[in-house]
């Protein structure tokens, strides 16, 4: 049994130990907050320098594009053609690099946001501060839609490569074998076949570059949504001779970055369908805002159209239609496709006024 005097000493010792333990815990908790705050501040400084370096690369891209445009106005000769080819390759490489750098920059910003929310959570204890709309926190059905959209895009690209460049390369191999047999018997005919092969490979090189553009669309932060749409329309016009009518009336700034990217992807896919399937003479791309504030994109061609029932049964075009529909759904938009055989196709995307326009 503890005597009164001993009990007093024991109580004092326990209180002192409790105070020391509490002070240590307070110190450790304060260190944790300080470390999170320091990490956020340091990462924010790095992100600022990253943006500055990104701007330097973007400036290089502008200079390359300006030089390429200047060369286009000069008389063609071997030197200019070589320089144009070199610039085109450099431009594609720089565009590809900027596409990856944009993704890295977005990751940095996301980590910074989470660190700042973590510090506020440690400081204030409000659980809502760490909630967000990141992929990891998205509801399971949304995660599945994103994964399905990604897989659909991979299947679509695989089908496009199979039907396009892969088939063309197979044909080119047969053509080379035929030319080998012709060289001794008919040199003039062999030369003609070589010219045909050269033209074939040039066309397919254009298709491969179009695939690259689809994978890494023109940088929206440099030429804007409408600049990127005009770029895609110009490429289709140059490749096919189709007449393009652009009626871009809706303010693009009403859309967020993600929405603009989806709109551009849908335009790309619709124009790809026109080039590969429609045999159209005229294409109209229009945007407008409706009375309820909805932002609308419409792409109409006068081509051969198609039977929606056949497409649903697995025709090649179904890959593109599914791609467009899934992308529209991910931003809360509605996609309507109207088509009849020999009566053209209409693709309409409607982004309601009430959806989150990030």
Q: What is the pTM of this model?
A: 0.47
Read off the pLDDT of residues 182-208 as tens digits, 9 standing for 90 and up. Answer: 888 888 888 888 888 888 787 777 667
C-alpha distance from residue 194 to each of 188, 201, 299 (Å): 10, 10, 39
Read off the pLDDT of residues 76-92 as tens digits, 9 standing for 90 and up. Answer: 777 777 887 788 778 77
Tokens representing 356 are 């989150």
CATH of domain 137-216: 1.20.5
Intrachain domains 137-216 and 220-358 with the same fold = no
Which SS3 state, helix, strand or coil, does residue 274 take? helix
Q: How is 3-16 classified by DSSP, letter by letter?
A: -HHHHHHHHHHHHH
200: buried, middle or exposed (CB in 10 Å: 19+, 13-18, 0-12)?
A: middle
Class of domain 220-358: alpha beta
**In terms of pLDDT, which residue wins out, 196 or 160?**
196
Binned at pLDDT 50, 70 and 90, residue 350 comes out as very high
Instruction: Give yes or no for a contact between 33 and 119, defined as CB atoms under 8 angstroms apart.
Output: yes
The Cα 301–Cα 278 span in angstroms is: 8
Instruction: Give yes or no for a contact between 324 and 311, defined as CB atoms under 8 angstroms apart.
Output: no
The per-residue pLDDT for 94 is 77
Read off the pLDDT of residues 55-67 as tens digits, 9 standing for 90 and up. Answer: 888 888 788 878 8
Residue 134 has pLDDT above 50, yes or no: no
The Cα 83–Cα 64 span in angstroms is: 11
What are the residue boundaries of the structural domains of the chain, listed by start? 4-130, 137-216, 220-358
Which SS3 state, helix, strand or coil, does residue 224 take? helix
Residue 328: name the closest of 309, 348, 308 by CA.
Answer: 348
- Cβ atoms within 10 A of the Cβ of 340, count? 12
Which SS3 state, helix, strand or coil, does residue 339 take? strand
């Amino acid at each position: 049994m503890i005597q009164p005097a001993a009990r007093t000493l024991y109580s004092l010792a326990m209180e002192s130990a409790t105070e020391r333990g509490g002070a240590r815990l307070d110190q450790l908790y304060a260190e944790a907050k300080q470390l999170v705050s320091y990490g956020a501040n340091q990462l924010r400084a790095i992100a600022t320098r990253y943006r500055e370096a990104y701007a330097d690369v973007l400036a290089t891209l502008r200079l390359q594009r300006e030089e390429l445009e200047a060369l286009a106005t000069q008389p063609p000769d071997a030197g200019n053609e070589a320089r144009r080819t070199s610039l085109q390759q450099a431009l594609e490489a720089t565009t590809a690099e900027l596409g990856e750098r944009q993704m890295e920059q977005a990751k940095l910003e996301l980590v910074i946001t989470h660190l700042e929310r973590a510090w506020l959570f440690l400081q204030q204890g409000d659980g809502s501060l760490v909630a967000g709309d990141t992929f990891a926190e998205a509801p399971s059905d949304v995660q599945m839609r994103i994964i399905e959209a990604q897989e659909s895009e991979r299947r679509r690209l695989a089908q496009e490569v199979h039907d396009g460049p892969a088939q063309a390369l197979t044909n080119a191999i047969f053509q080379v074998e035929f030319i080998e047999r012709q060289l001794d018997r008919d040199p003039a005919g062999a030369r003609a076949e070589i010219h045909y092969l050269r033209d074939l490979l040039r066309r397919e090189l254009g298709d491969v570059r179009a695939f690259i553009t689809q994978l890494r669309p023109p940088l929206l932060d440099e030429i804007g949504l409408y600049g990127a749409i005009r770029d895609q329309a110009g490429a289709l016009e140059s490749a096919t001779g189709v007449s393009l009518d652009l009626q871009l009336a809706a303010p693009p700034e009403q859309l967020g970055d993600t929405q603009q990217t989806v709109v551009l992807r849908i335009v790309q896919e619709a124009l790809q369908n026109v080039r590969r399937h429609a045999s159209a003479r005229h294409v109209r791309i229009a945007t407008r805002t409706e009375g309820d504030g909805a932002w609308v994109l419409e792409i109409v061609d006068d081509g051969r159209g198609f039977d929606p029932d056949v497409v649903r049964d697995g025709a090649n075009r179904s890959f593109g239609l599914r791609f467009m529909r899934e992308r529209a759904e991910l931003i809360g938009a509605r996609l309507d496709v109207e088509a009849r055989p020999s009566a053209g196709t209409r693709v309409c995307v409607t982004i309601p006024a009430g959806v989150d326009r990030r």
